[in-house]
Amino acid sequence: MMLSLAWKNIWRSKGRSFVVIGAIVIGVWSLIFMFGFYNSFIEALSRNSLYHDFSHIQVHHKGYLTEPGLAFLLNRSEELVDMGAEVPEILATSGRLIINGMIASPKTNLGIQVYGVHPTDEAQVTGLEEQLVEGNYFENSKRYPILISEKIADKLKVKLRSKLILTIQDAQANITSAAFIVSGIFHSKSPRINESVIYVRHADVVQLIGLDDQSYNELAYLLRDTETTDRVKVNIESKTENLLRTYREIAPEFDMFEQTSAITKQMITFIIMLALLFGIINAMLMSVLERTKEIGMLRSIGMHKRKIFLMILFETCIISLISGPLGLLAGFATNRYLSINGLNLSSYAGALEQYGAEAIVYPSIDYATYPLLMMIVLITALLGAIYPAIKATRLKPLEAIRKI
Greater pLDDT, 140 or 181: 181
The DSSP letter of residue 131 is G
| Dist CA 52 CA 55 (whole Å) | 7
pTM for the structure as a whole: 0.76
List pLDDT tens digits, range 246-280. 998 888 877 787 788 888 888 988 999 998 888 88
List the domain boundaries for the chain: 2-50+254-402, 62-241
Dihedral, CA of residue 87, residue 93, residue 99 and residue 104, to nearest 10 = 180
Percent of the chain with pLDDT over 90: 39
The torsion angle over the Cα atoms of residues 73, 79, 81 and 84, rounded to 10 degrees, is -140
Q: CA angle at residue 51 from 155 to 49, to 5 degrees?
A: 60
- DSSP assignment of 352-366 equals HHTTT--SEE-----
Query: What's the mean pLDDT in 103-114?
Result: 93
CA dist 53 and 117 (Å) reads 13
What span, in angstroms and rounded, lies between the C-alpha atoms of 23 and 15? 12
Q: Collapse the DSSP code of 303 into the 3-class scheme (helix H, G, I; strand E, B; otherwise coil) and give the result.
A: coil
115-139 mean pLDDT: 93
Query: Which of 177 and 396 is assigned the larger pLDDT?
Result: 177
> What mean pLDDT is reported for the chain?
86
What is the full DSSP assignment across 329-355? Answer: HHHHHHHHHHHHH-EE-GGGHHHHHTT
Contact predicate 286/359, CB 8 Å: no
How many residues are listed for the chain in this entry? 404
Helical H runs in 50-158?
77-86, 119-126, 150-156
Which SS3 state, helix, strand or coil, does residue 141 take? coil
